[in-house]
Amino acid sequence: MTTLLALVLTCFFIGNSYVFIRSLQAISGTPLYIKILFGILFWLSAISLFIVLALRHANLPEFLPKTLFKIGSTWMVIILYMSLILFALDVIKYFFAPNIKYIFWYAVATTTIILLYGYINYLNPRINRIDIAIEKPFKGDSMTIVALSDMHLGYGTGKERLKKFVRMIKHEKPDLILIAGDLIDNSLLPLQNEHMEKELKELDAPMGVYMVPGNHEYISGIEESKQFISNCGIKMLCDSVVELPNGIQLILRDDFFNRERMPLEDLISGTDGSKPMIMVDHQPHGITRKNELGIDLQISGHTHNGQIWPGNIVTNMIYEQSNGYRKWSHSHVYVSSGISLWGPPFRIGTNGDMAVFKIHSKK
């Protein structure tokens, strides 16, 4: 993980340096003071996300961390696509079209169009409707489950977006609501300042609202996160088994971030193998093993399906299943791309989603 982070930061620095040099070339005819001002704004944008993450628990005026977060997270995507497009155009100019002009401005225009598309796509998460027939019987023989993950409430996903998500969930009239972690982003402060508990308390289902922690609940402070979520009427459980009134067993697993979480086999030992088992585990690790242990339905998130291309290529290489629904030999597995996202408000090559399961019993 440390190596991956170091690689990402190195690429980010190289990308910023490349775009900065090409930017100075594009404005070479402007006065020196404009170039200096441009350089200050450029590198302030580049480091603003790191500033707000370092100060995420500081009680600053709300507008300041929110502004820095939006600038810094958006800058990451700008640099990614400006670097890729500029490099491609530079290669074309060098090998095939030496007379091509205005390369930098072509890159700016193309990046702007891509970001506009990505923002519109981000505003409209999909609802995936999935019918599942499981082998084991349960009372009532059918139920509706809304499953979601990665809402990332905070400076990026605020109160107005939360209201939309709550309306989406309530519209489905679910029997059960399952949240597969990362409800909170990086800090509880923006949730408390905007009183987001009011909207979260509106989530209600006859069989309850359950969630497991994600890595961001740990980043935000796991004990404080547990208290806040409990006050919202949501049951966040770690390494626990809950039997619902209809006999379905929920296996609610602690996040992979906690390396001292209960071993999977020990957690499964507290279940009845003759009754349906639904496991909620934030990170989709060990899907093959869970399939072998007889889990009927597995729900995860965390990957965001890479969020922006080419990130989805990377997540597909890392995880056995990084997105969407798949039927394994026994288990039905759903890995959500996230109803919202972390950082930049763009979905490019991926889609946000919420799942609505219609669960039936073959018996």
Specify the pLDDT at position 363: 63
Contact 211, 183 (CB under 8 A): yes
State the pLDDT confidence band at 270, using cuts at 50, 70 and 90. confident
How high is the mean pLDDT of the chain? 94
Query: What is the percentage of the chain residues whose pLDDT exceeds 90?
Result: 88
Give residue-wise pLDDT tens across range 157-169. 999 999 999 999 9
pLDDT tops 90 at residue 82? yes
Alpha helices for 130-253 (secondary structure H): 159-171, 189-193, 197-200, 215-220, 222-231
State the pLDDT confidence band at 3, using cuts at 50, 70 and 90. confident
| Triad 1, 147, 192: Cα angle to 5° | 70
| 128-361 placed in CATH 3.60.21.10 | yes
Structure tokens at 192: 């408390």
Q: What residue segments make up the domains of the chain, in order of their start?
A: 2-122, 128-361
Contact 174, 205 (CB under 8 A): yes
> In whole angstroms, what is the distance from residue 205 CA to residue 228 CA?
19
> In whole angstroms, what is the distance from residue 74 CA to residue 194 CA?
22
What is the pLDDT averaged over residues 221-225? 95
What is the pLDDT averaged over residues 297-305? 97
pLDDT tops 90 at residue 4? no
Q: How many other CB atoms are found less than 10 A from the CB of residue 135?
A: 11
State the pLDDT confidence band at 139, using cuts at 50, 70 and 90. very high
What is the pLDDT averaged over residues 215-231? 95
In DSSP notation, 36-90 reads HHHHHHHHHHHHHHHHHHHTTTS---THHHHHHHHHHHHHHHHHHHHHHHHHHHH
What is the pLDDT averaged over residues 288-311? 95
